[in-house]
Amino acid sequence: MKSEQINCTRCGFVAVVGEPNAGKSTFVNAAIGEKVSIVSSKQQTTRNQIRGILVQNNAQIIFTDTPGFFRPHTALEKSLIANFKNSYKDADIILIIFDVSKKNSNYTINFINKMKIDDWQKVAVVLNKTDKIKKHYLFEIAKEFASCNNIDEIFMVSAKYNDGINDVVDYLAKNLPESDFMYECNKTTDQDIKFRLAEITREKLYNALFAELPYNIFVETDHIVETQTKATIFQTITVTKQSQKSIVIGKNGEMLQHIKNQAYKDIKKIMNKNITIKLFVKCRPISKCI
Ligand SMILES: Nc1nc2c(ncn2[C@@H]2O[C@H](COP(=O)(O)OP(=O)(O)OP(=O)(O)O)[C@@H](O)[C@H]2O)c(=O)[nH]1
Ligand SMILES: [Mg+2]
């Protein structure tokens, strides 16, 4: 009986949800200890559901980092929301990330109280960015969340400074259902390598051109030419206006070079070999239906 308990493994899905910019992707990266999801101070950075995978003791935790929840206006936002609703309905544990420096918790609390949860699902709240506010405010916010329906646990963390993350990970590992692992032990994400590298460049673009860039800018990895020791990564950045193309390239190509330099370190870490990045910028106007 005892050896059966020791050998039992757990595995399941954890949906990481919350308002835009709450720090969902930062949290997932901190938990996994690797950048699997891009981070920026621009809202709605995460467009797709990103899976990050972590083995903790006898448990394999499969995080789904989601686009933030908000009232949709544009077609892109509507598709983000549709994606988001699917992301938590099959999750074993739903982690609600809240940015405590926002102070107004009504929207998130309302969301939690309206969530339709099945009996087998658990909901926990992660109060994030604790580094940004004073302790007594934090306890007031925690009290507000404690009165929500269905909350199993409340954690206080600073994802950016890796504070309090282990407690959340331990809780997740203990509360996932008994199951075999679904992924190989050393896998940290299920993303295709081309997509992952394109996301890194998109992060650097957002961070360098925060105010000037619209959301409909896309980065694609066209191909990767690889030997055992070296990889050349060809990527295309697509914008929708000539003026945006000039911004991305910058004077004498300086902005493009800056983005490449910024992407270099992260991409090298992922590829684990010498790399060269070739960036191209293309303008493709959005076609209008009449
Ligand atoms: N000070 C502080 N900043 C944080 C913390 N966690 C995240 N941030 C910052 O908050 C901003 C948004 O972080 P993201 O992880 O991209 O947030 P997100 O919830 O994934 O955002 P979307 O994908 O756009 O919904 C970034 O500038 C992060 O560096 C934290 O614990 N403390
Ligand atoms: Mg995100």
pLDDT in tens, 188-225: 999 999 999 999 999 999 999 877 776 678 999 999 99
pLDDT in tens, 270-282: 999 999 999 999 9
CATH homologous superfamily of 2-175 equals: P-loop containing nucleotide triphosphate hydrolases (3.40.50.300)
What pLDDT band is residue 290 in, cutting at 50, 70 and 90? Answer: very low
Reference 20, options 86, 89, 70, 63; nearest CA is 70
Best of 16, 17, 19, 21 for a ligand 1 pocket test (most atoms within 8 Å of beta carbon) = 21
What pLDDT band is residue 285 in, cutting at 50, 70 and 90? Answer: confident
Using CB distances shorter than 6 Å, the residues near ligand 1 are 18, 20-26, 39-41, 43-46, 67-68, 128-129, 131-132, 158-160
Is pLDDT at 128 greater than 70 in this prediction?
yes
Is pLDDT at 2 greater than 70 in this prediction?
no
Decide: helix, strand or coil at residue 27. helix
From CA 269, how far away is CA 264, in angstroms rounded? 9
Is pLDDT at 181 greater than 60 in this prediction?
yes
From CA 34, how far away is CA 30, in angstroms rounded? 7
Q: Where are the domains of the chain?
A: 2-175, 193-283
Please name the residue ranges forming H helices in 37-192.
75-89, 106-114, 135-146, 165-175
pTM for the complete prediction? 0.88
Residue 100 DSSP label? G
CATH 3.30.300.20 fits 193-283, yes or no: yes
